[in-house]
Amino acid sequence: MKLLQRYLHKFLLYTTWRPWLTIVVAFCIAFVSIFYTIKKLDFETSQLDLISPENRLIKLSDKLDQFRDLNPFTVVIEAPTPERAVGFLNSLVNKLNTQPKYFKRMFYRVDWQSLKRWSLLYLDKGELETLRANLSDHLDILQDLDKSPDLENLLFLINREMTSKMLGHFFTDFLEDNSSTEKTGKPLDLTYLINILSGTNKWIEGERIFKSPWSSFFGNNDWEGELDSYFWTSKKKFLLLFVTPRKFGSAFTNKETSLRKLREIIRETQAAFPDVDAGVTGQEALNTDQMTVGLRDMSIASALSLVALTLLLILFWKSVRKPLLEITELLLALSWTFGLTTLFIGHLNILSMIFAPLLLGLGIDYRIHWLARY
C-alpha cells in the first residue's frame, strides 16, 4: 500500500511540474478515446441483453445468432377486402424488387401448387374423417361422373341424388319414431350445387375467376386457393409481408436506412390505395426505432444538460473563465470514461445508454470543490 502511495505521489509531482505536457497528454487521450468509441462502441438493442448471459435460456438463444441477419421487418396490411389487400401487396412488392440496394428478399406467399401432391398431409384427423365420410356418402356420384366427366352429367347426378333424398324423406320419414332424439342420415347439403350455379353465372356474366366447388363437396369450404397462399392473420384481417433488410455500416442503427426506405415506399404505394392501411412492425423494426429514438434523445439531453450546467456555473462564479475550465475538464473526463467503457465492456444497452447526461451532473462536483478551495 505504501509503495502504491509513493508511486502515486511521484506521478502527481511529475504532472504538477509539467502542466503543459499533462494537458497535451490529456487531450490526446481524449481524442483517442473519442475515435475508439466511435469505431468500436456497440449498442445491444435486445431486451434479452438486460438478462445475465449466464442464464440458461440466454445461452440457448445465443445458438440462434447465426440466423440474426435474417430477422425481417414485418409489413402489416389492412384493407376493406382480402383482394384489395393482395393488390396492395403485389404493388408494394414490385416496388421493393426495384430496390435491391436496401432489401435482400421479400417473403409474402407460398407456392401452394408445389405442395398440392402432399395436401392430405396437412389435414388434421377431424378433417380426414370428414373427407372419408363424404367420399363414402357420394361414392355413386363420383363413380358415375368418372365415366362421363362433363357439366351436364354432373348436374344430372346431383339432381338424381336430390330426388332420391327427397323421395326417401317423403315416404319413409313418417315411419321413424319422432320421440327419438337421434335421426339417421344427414340433411342434403346444397352448398356444392349453389357454388356450381354461382360460378357458372359469374362466368356467363364475364367474370373469369374460377373457384373450384369441390372444397364444399368434400366438406371444407374455407380454402380459397390462390388467396390462401398468402400470410394472413385470423379471419384474413391483416395481410403480412416479411422484408429482410440490408445493413449499412456496423453501427447499431445499421438497418435504419432500409427501414426509412421501406416506409417511404409504403407511403408511395398508399397513394394509389387510399383505402388501405399499412405499417412496419416486428422485433427488428422496433429495435431499430427504439435505439434511433434513444440515441437522439440522449444526444438532446446531453446537450441541454451541458448548456444548462454551463449557464449555472457562469451565474455562480460570475465569470466565464472558471466555468469554461470546469466544462473542459468535464468533457475530457467524459471522453476518457467512454473510451474505457468501450475498451473493457464494449457495448451499452437500452438502460446504460442514458449515463452520459448523468455523468455530466455527477462529474462536475469535484471540479466545483477544487476550484472553490484552491
Class of domain 68-109+230-281: alpha beta
Helix, strand, coil distribution of the chain in percent, nearest 5: 65, 10, 25
Give counts: helices (H), strands (E), the chain: 13, 7
Residue 235's nearest CA partner among 81, 26, 18 is: 81
Portion of the chain with pLDDT greater than 90, in percent:
26
Examine the pLDDT at 76 and tell me if it is beyond 90: yes
Question: Which pTM value belongs to this model?
Answer: 0.64
Each residue of 256-281: pLDDT tens digit? 899 999 999 999 999 999 999 999 99
Examine the pLDDT at 222 and tell me if it is beyond 70: no
Q: Kindly indicate the confidence band of residue 184, based on its pLDDT and cuts at 50, 70 and 90.
A: very low
Look up residue 38 and give its three cell numbers: 466511435
What are the residue ranges of CATH 3.30.70.1430 in the chain? 68-109+230-281
For residue 347, the cross-strand partners are 42
Q: Following DSSP, what letter does each residue of 165-180 receive, concatenated?
A: HHHHHHHHGGGS-TT-
Q: Kindly indicate the confidence band of residue 85, based on its pLDDT and cuts at 50, 70 and 90.
A: very high
**CA distances for 25 relative to 30, 262, 322, 323, 371, angstroms:** 8, 47, 21, 22, 22
